[in-house]
A and B are shown apart, each in its own frame.
Chain A
Amino acid sequence: MTKIDVQMVEDIAVGAALLGTGGGGDPYVGKLMAIQALKKNGPVELIDVEQVPDDAWVVPAAMMGAPTVLVEKIPSGKEIFKAFDSLQNYLGKEIYAVIPIEAGGLNSMIPITVAAERKLPLVDVDGMGRAFPELQMVTFHLYGVSATPMVLADEKGNSLLLNTINNFWTENLARNATVVMGGSVMIAIYPMKGKDLKQSGIRNIITYSAKIGQAIREARKNGDDPIEALLKATGGYTLFKGKISDVQRRTTGGFVRGEAHIDGIDQYKGETMAIDFQNENLIARRNGRVVATVPDLICTVDAHTAAPITTEGLRYGQRVFILGIPCDKKWRSEKGIATVGPRYFGYDVDYVPIEELIKG
């Protein structure tokens, strides 16, 4: 059995920021909250999916809205429990364990706080294996799990219980409510039983995040190449190495879309890469040819330190290393590609698994 301590929280934050593929927000506030909760309550127990009884209830805890708002209007610390408790009351069932909804800077931290304060185990699973911008973009959705009943809670004590006809309505209603509630809320969502979690969740994502963070940290400490360590820890593919030559951004419908252009260095000298992003990195083209697309992971890190770089943090002149990681096979189903494939994001590109694309 694994215990999540302060060091592991730091590692998870780095690893999840990488798996956030450029999105997911700055983990700083979430990390301070998680560390504070661990210091007060002791380490959190991390359990395997198989340890969750089939009929026990699990609930993902998360933040929804703008990370920019959260870093200014710090939570009261009570809203996530309000959401959690309201959902538990409505269900009329004990909640057995907490899970993260995604691997992303901020939302990898919130469930740790809840698990520590409520003395509940955290399950080593999530619904994305990476970060995505919308509520229905989880593998739970692919298996017919409903996002609702769902509770949104703000710091003032308002909470909102949603029951919707499908998960797209949940996204739409919840996103608009979030704005009215101040731009950043805490949510308890996708309540499900152990047997559904075992079928629909992405396994071992927390230990995977921690392993990535640990590999980078130890490589830096030992003077080894952190990029090598990163490749080894993730089993990912080198997509490119270069320097950012241009970044273009524009907003549409509340999401920041843009492209980053990269000029090759070292073995990629004379070549170019372009990455399309919508908060998260979506499509990577090398010399104009697609080499990776969503839902496979396209991760940008600093070429020297292997520190993950968010799409907001991309700047001209940065030396970057681009890493491609195959997504969980659940995403590669027909419904998975329809939900998070390149066409859902508006690109006229078919999904081809990265392992095939990389062969050229």
Chain B
Amino acid sequence: MEYRIGIDVGGTNTDAVLVDENMQLVESIKVPTTKDVSSGIFEALHRVLEKSKVNRNNIKYAMLGTTHATNAIVERKRLCKTAIVRIGRPATEAIAPLAAWPGDLVEAVGNHYYLIAGGHEFDGREISPLNEDELKKIALELKGRVESIAIVSVFSPVNNQHELRAREILQEVLGEIPISLSHEIGSIGLLERENATVLNAALVDVARTTANGFKEALAREGVTGAKVFLCQNDGTLMSIEYAMRYPILTIACGPTNSIRGAAFLSNLENAMVLDVGGTTSDIGIIAQGFPRESSIAVEIGGVRTNFRMPDLISIGLGGGTIVREENGEVKIGPDSVGYRITEEALVFGGKTITATDVAVRLGLAEVGDKEKVRNLPLELAQKAYDKMQEMVEEAIDKIKTSKEPQPLVLVGGGSIIVSNNINGVSQVVRPQNFGVANALGAAIAQVSGEVDRIYSLSEMSREAALQDAKQLAIAEAVKAGADPASVNIVHVEDIPLAYLPGNAVRIRVKASGDLI
């Protein structure tokens, strides 16, 4: 028998699971997440191996979903000094790189940027030829001064030639310095894509340390034959080499791991997933087996970015959410007793009315001592429950894309507070092992590749453009470590460009496949 280990770092707990080659759960463990993140991961790894007692030589894959990258950006620590080369002059001069960045983050990545001639139009024509002489000068100037480079060229999602050539020229002088290319990171929207690319470049060292630390920990535990992967935020995996090139794609992999895990546990390819924690709940969508992506700009550490992020709605409702009555009105939250629920909630002998107490009072959940909520007025409990239900229903409505009722998979420790009868939901699924859905999501993940480009349909048919995008997405998935024979197209979307004749269309395609 061969095995996989999946580890997921959450805000409160770090979970680890061991599954066999048939994807059956063998063992699971939860340990508190540590401030440095790494020691919690090592502890979870150690304990799940101890508990399961499987032969460590039979562990073939090890997957890690971690918050290292997010923490580094939020704390402005361990970031590489990064040079930004923006190709697009004379366009783009009106707004300088890093213009809308918080001062302390600019300081953390350094304020090295260059604007040079080049870049393309929306239909692929050149704005100007790439200024290669200028690039050579920049390379010499940068030698020894920065640890990482971000290259961004105007409309590189349409034509990436200038970014590729610029990397070649810089590497001739600077050798093996990490270089992030914007067309591989984000989509249309120069400032947001540039921001994402700079953050990616600045995170290269964080990814390297994280991956090496995980590999060493595995070796220490005697796991020497496993292939190691990091989780990305679309619910798929990337090899260590790939992760070091695209570390930003690890941001928000936790919720997507939950969504993937929920889909796996429920056997549903299309469903909504509600992950109820102690303080908040996340709701996401699984479409054709993958978490749906957000289509709007997302802020990371105070910076607007447009790289791929999961489409999630968070609501301030969890098992520990505080319920109050004020002037005859019932109020739900927004505060919560959080992890102190086992001391403060009524059912555990505490003095605070929580969402969990309401559910127990109404006989909908069995937790703690139900005698202890006997004095909670039934009418109050019912009113509170109706409000909680409304919050869940509204969030469900917001995330749905069609009127049709869809199944809802409930995961997370707080999910007892949600009823089985919800408007807009065809069926509520409560899978076994719902508490470690996230680590399972990491363990069972596939690998993927995607493209997001603008095509001009005056020169090619829509079919030809879609075909081209699909092939590029498949090639990306294979590059990321997918078995070519198993790669499938899982998502296709095309959106026309407004206010322009000439039929330009933006196409997004995602492909995924099994681990090789």
Q: What 0/1 pattern do residues 117 to 134 of B give for CB contact below 8 A with A?
A: 001011101011000000
Q: In the complex, are the beta carbons of B122 and A32 less than 8 A apart?
A: no
Lowest 6 CB-CB distances: which A-B pairs, in order? A77-B94, A254-B501, A251-B496, A74-B92, A155-B91, A66-B500
Q: In the complex, are the beta carbons of A255 and B498 less than 8 A apart?
A: yes
- A318 within 8 A of partner (CB): yes
Question: In the complex the two chains form, what is the Cα distance from A256 to B498 in whole Å?
Answer: 6
Task: Considering the complex, give the chain B residue whose CB is closest to the CB of A156.
Answer: B90
- A68 within 8 A of partner (CB): yes
Pick 14 A–B contacts, CB within 8 A, sort by A.
Answer: A28-B191, A65-B499, A66-B500, A68-B188, A73-B92, A74-B88, A74-B94, A76-B89, A77-B93, A78-B93, A178-B500, A254-B499, A254-B500, A317-B398
In the complex, which residues 1-57 of chain A have their Cβ closer than 8 Å to any Cβ of chain B?
Answer: 28-29, 32-33, 36
Checking A68, A76, A317 against B497 with a beta-carbon cut-off of 8 angstroms, the contacting residue is: A68
Chain A residues with Cβ below 8 Å from B175 are none
Of residues A65, A178, A179, A312, which shows the largest number of chain B Cβ atoms within 10 Å of its Cβ?
A179
- B22 within 8 A of partner (CB): no
- B74 within 8 A of partner (CB): no
In the complex, which residues 365-393 of chain B have their Cβ closer than 8 Å to any Cβ of chain A?
Answer: none
Q: In the complex, are the beta carbons of A183 and B121 less than 8 A apart?
A: yes
Chain B residues with Cβ below 8 Å from A251 are 496, 503
Question: In the complex the two chains form, what is the Cα distance from A335 to B317 in whole Å?
Answer: 55
Question: In the complex the two chains form, what is the Cα distance from A297 to B322 in whole Å?
Answer: 43
- A305 within 8 A of partner (CB): no
Distance between A171 CB and nearest chain B CB, rounded to angstroms: 12
Q: In the complex, are the beta carbons of B498 and A68 less than 8 A apart?
A: yes
Distance between B459 CB and nearest chain A CB, rounded to angstroms: 13
Q: In the complex, are the beta carbons of B190 and A74 less than 8 A apart?
A: yes
Q: In the complex, are the beta carbons of A66 and B122 less than 8 A apart?
A: yes
Q: In the complex, are the beta carbons of B499 and A73 less than 8 A apart?
A: no
Q: What 0/1 pattern do residues 288 to 329 of A give for CB contact below 8 A with B?
A: 000000000000000000000000110111110000000000
Question: In the complex the two chains form, what is the Cα distance from A72 to B99 in whole Å?
Answer: 15
Checking A28, A67, A157, A245 against B90 with a beta-carbon cut-off of 8 angstroms, the contacting residue is: A157
Q: What 0/1 pattern do residues 244 to 268 of A give for CB contact below 8 A with B?
A: 0110010101111000000000000
Chain A residues with Cβ below 8 Å from B35 are none
Q: Which residues of A contact B (CB under 8 A)?
A: 28-29, 32-33, 36, 65-69, 71-78, 133, 155-157, 175-176, 178-179, 182-183, 243, 245-246, 249, 251, 253-256, 279, 312-313, 315-319
Q: Please tell me which stretch of B326-334, B336-344, B399-407 contacts chain A, meaning at least 4 of its Cβ atoms lie within 8 angstroms of it.
A: B399-407
Contact A73:B99 (CB < 8 A) given known A156-B90, A182-B122, A279-B499 = no
Q: Which residues of B contact A (CB under 8 A)?
A: 88-95, 99-100, 119, 121-123, 125, 127-128, 154-155, 188-191, 296, 304, 394, 397-403, 496-504, 506
Contact A256:B121 (CB < 8 A) given known A73-B88, A73-B92, A76-B90 = no
Question: In the complex the two chains form, what is the Cα distance from A165 to B99 in whole Å?
Answer: 44
Chain A residues with Cβ below 8 Å from B498 are 66-68, 254-256, 279, 312
Distance between A66 CB and nearest chain B CB, rounded to angstroms: 4
Task: Considering the complex, give the chain A residue whose CB is closest to the CB of B94.
Answer: A77
Q: In the complex, are the beta carbons of B121 and A75 less than 8 A apart?
A: no
Distance between A309 CB and nearest chain B CB, rounded to angstroms: 11
Checking B91, B189, B191, B402 against A75 with a beta-carbon cut-off of 8 angstroms, the contacting residue is: B91
Checking B91, B127, B400 against A316 with a beta-carbon cut-off of 8 angstroms, the contacting residue is: B400
Distance between B219 CB and nearest chain A CB, rounded to angstroms: 45
Task: Considering the complex, give the chain A residue whose CB is closest to the CB of B120.
Answer: A73
Q: In the complex, are the beta carbons of B403 and A245 less than 8 A apart?
A: yes
Q: In the complex, are the beta carbons of B499 and A67 less than 8 A apart?
A: yes
Contact A255:B99 (CB < 8 A) given known A74-B92, A76-B90, A155-B91 = no
Checking A72, A156, A245, A253 against B190 with a beta-carbon cut-off of 8 angstroms, the contacting residue is: A72
Question: In the complex the two chains form, what is the Cα distance from A279 to B400 in whole Å?
Answer: 24
Chain A residues with Cβ below 8 Å from B122 are 66, 68-69, 72-73, 182-183
Checking B123, B188, B499, B503 against A72 with a beta-carbon cut-off of 8 angstroms, the contacting residue is: B188
Question: In the complex the two chains form, what is the Cα distance from A67 to B122 in whole Å?
Answer: 12
Contact A73:B497 (CB < 8 A) given known A36-B95, A78-B93, A318-B398 = no
Checking B189, B191, B500 against A183 with a beta-carbon cut-off of 8 angstroms, the contacting residue is: B500
Chain A residues with Cβ below 8 Å from B121 are 73, 182-183
A71-B188, A73-B119, A315-B401 given; 15 more Cβ-contact pairs under 8 Å = A32-B95, A32-B100, A33-B94, A36-B95, A36-B99, A65-B500, A72-B155, A73-B127, A74-B94, A75-B93, A156-B90, A182-B121, A246-B402, A254-B500, A256-B496
Distance between B300 CB and nearest chain A CB, rounded to angstroms: 16
Q: In the complex, are the beta carbons of A76 and B127 less than 8 A apart?
A: no
Q: In the complex, are the beta carbons of B95 and A33 less than 8 A apart?
A: yes
Question: In the complex the two chains form, what is the Cα distance from A155 to B115 in whole Å?
Answer: 14
Q: In the complex, are the beta carbons of A317 and B399 less than 8 A apart?
A: yes
Q: In the complex, are the beta carbons of B191 and A182 less than 8 A apart?
A: no
Q: In the complex, are the beta carbons of A71 and B189 less than 8 A apart?
A: yes
Chain A residues with Cβ below 8 Å from B506 are 68
Question: In the complex the two chains form, what is the Cα distance from A72 to B86 in whole Å?
Answer: 12
Checking B99, B127, B403 against A155 with a beta-carbon cut-off of 8 angstroms, the contacting residue is: B127
Chain B residues with Cβ below 8 Å from A77 are 93-95
Task: Considering the complex, give the chain A residue whose CB is closest to the CB of B503.
Answer: A251
Distance between A131 CB and nearest chain B CB, rounded to angstroms: 11
Checking A179, A245, A249 against B502 with a beta-carbon cut-off of 8 angstroms, the contacting residue is: A179
Question: In the complex the two chains form, what is the Cα distance from A28 to B95 in whole Å?
Answer: 11
Chain B residues with Cβ below 8 Å from A179 are 500-502
Q: In the complex, are the beta carbons of A317 and B400 less than 8 A apart?
A: yes
Question: In the complex the two chains form, what is the Cα distance from A315 to B311 in whole Å?
Answer: 13
Q: In the complex, are the beta carbons of A316 and B90 less than 8 A apart?
A: no
Question: In the complex the two chains form, what is the Cα distance from A183 to B123 in whole Å?
Answer: 9
Task: Considering the complex, give the chain A residue whose CB is closest to the CB of B125.
Answer: A182
Task: Considering the complex, give the chain A residue whose CB is closest to the CB of B295.
Answer: A315
Question: In the complex the two chains form, what is the Cα distance from A279 to B500 in whole Å?
Answer: 11
Distance between B498 CB and nearest chain A CB, rounded to angstroms: 5
Chain A residues with Cβ below 8 Å from B100 are 32
Question: In the complex the two chains form, what is the Cα distance from A328 to B497 in whole Å?
Answer: 30
Question: In the complex the two chains form, what is the Cα distance from A29 to B501 in whole Å?
Answer: 23
Distance between A273 CB and nearest chain B CB, rounded to angstroms: 15
Chain A residues with Cβ below 8 Å from B401 are 315-317
Of residues B91, B99, B503, which shows the largest number of chain A Cβ atoms within 10 Å of its Cβ?
B91
Chain B residues with Cβ below 8 Å from A175 are 501
Distance between A286 CB and nearest chain B CB, rounded to angstroms: 19
Question: In the complex the two chains form, what is the Cα distance from A71 to B155 in whole Å?
Answer: 10
Distance between A26 CB and nearest chain B CB, rounded to angstroms: 9
Q: In the complex, are the beta carbons of B499 and A133 less than 8 A apart?
A: yes
Q: In the complex, are the beta carbons of A316 and B92 less than 8 A apart?
A: no
Question: In the complex the two chains form, what is the Cα distance from A156 to B89 in whole Å?
Answer: 8
Question: In the complex the two chains form, what is the Cα distance from A156 to B93 in whole Å?
Answer: 11
Q: In the complex, are the beta carbons of B128 and A156 less than 8 A apart?
A: yes
Of residues A32, A71, A183, A245, which shows the largest number of chain B Cβ atoms within 10 Å of its Cβ?
A183
Distance between B122 CB and nearest chain A CB, rounded to angstroms: 5
Contact A73:B500 (CB < 8 A) given known A29-B191, A182-B121, A183-B122 = no
Contact A76:B154 (CB < 8 A) given known A66-B122, A175-B501 = no
Question: In the complex the two chains form, what is the Cα distance from A35 to B178 in whole Å?
Answer: 34
